[in-house]
Amino acid sequence: MNKVLLMGQANVGKSVLFNHLAGAGATVSNYPGTTVDFDKGHMMLQGKKVDVIDVPGTFSLQPKDRAEEVAVKMLEKEKGATVVCVIDSSKVERGLYLALELIEKGHSVIIDLNMADVAENANIKVDTERLEDILGVPVVTTVAIRGEGLKELVSRMGEAMPAGIESITKRVGGKGGTSTHS
């Protein structure tokens, strides 16, 4: 692994994460559409220097505007990169859509449920272990603005891997049944 790409919807905290990981100064604001171009930085991973890339938020992999185009192009260019799919824990549903798309395209994905504090305040609980079982990729929880969970995120980046969409379909509810204990 030599590259880490931060993907996710707008305003989920990618740039905060990027600033922590790469010690950089990307602009962070509380509205969707802050980052409109990519930013590159470096981080140390298992004693190796790797590139970290922050891109504009994108709703899906079908770009709807110029900012999203930048993100999707970067993903296509960096095919071998480890993709950190950042999700707003209080809006998991939306984030998962993009996560599934990334998985379908065969990227090595690790899921970061960010803004755990917001979800907690809104009384939303996410069963990360179950989610990890279903998706077959690592799932970690973070509160990026406070730096919480970043260690785990970094230490588990190496576990990121491609997963099969068909096996996900099998493992979730329906065919596998809700009683799966994998």
Ligand X SMILES: Nc1nc2c(ncn2[C@@H]2O[C@H](COP(=O)(O)OP(=O)(O)OP(=O)(O)O)[C@@H](O)[C@H]2O)c(=O)[nH]1
CA distances from 155 to 47, 139, 149 (A): 12, 12, 10
Q: What is the DSSP letter of 148?
A: B
d(CA 54, CA 74): 10
Judged by CB under 5 A, the stretch of 12-20, 45-53, 113-121, 129-137 that binds Mg ion is 12-20
Query: Which residues are CB-contacts of 76 (< 8 A; sequence separation ≥ 6)?
Result: none
**Residue (41 or 56) nearer to ligand X, CB:** 56
Options 5, 7, 13, 108; binder of ligand X; rule CB under 6 A: 13
Residues 115-174 that bind other proteins (CB under 8 A): 118, 121-128, 130-131, 134-135, 145, 164-166, 168-169, 172-174
Residue 64 touches which of other proteins, Mg ion, ligand X, none (CB < 5 to 8 A by kind)?
other proteins
Residues 84-143 that bind ligand X (CB under 6 A): 114-115, 117-118, 143
Strand 39-45 to 82-88 pairing? unpaired
Q: Are 173 and 132 in contact (CB under 8 A)?
A: no
Nearest to 135 by CA among 154, 152, 113: 113
User: Mask of contacts with other proteins, 99-118, x by CB under 8 A?
Assistant: -xx--xxx-----------x
Residues 19-78 that bind Mg ion (CB under 5 A): 34-35
Interface positions with ligand X (CB under 6 A): 8, 10-16, 28-30, 32-35, 56-57, 114-115, 117-118, 143-145
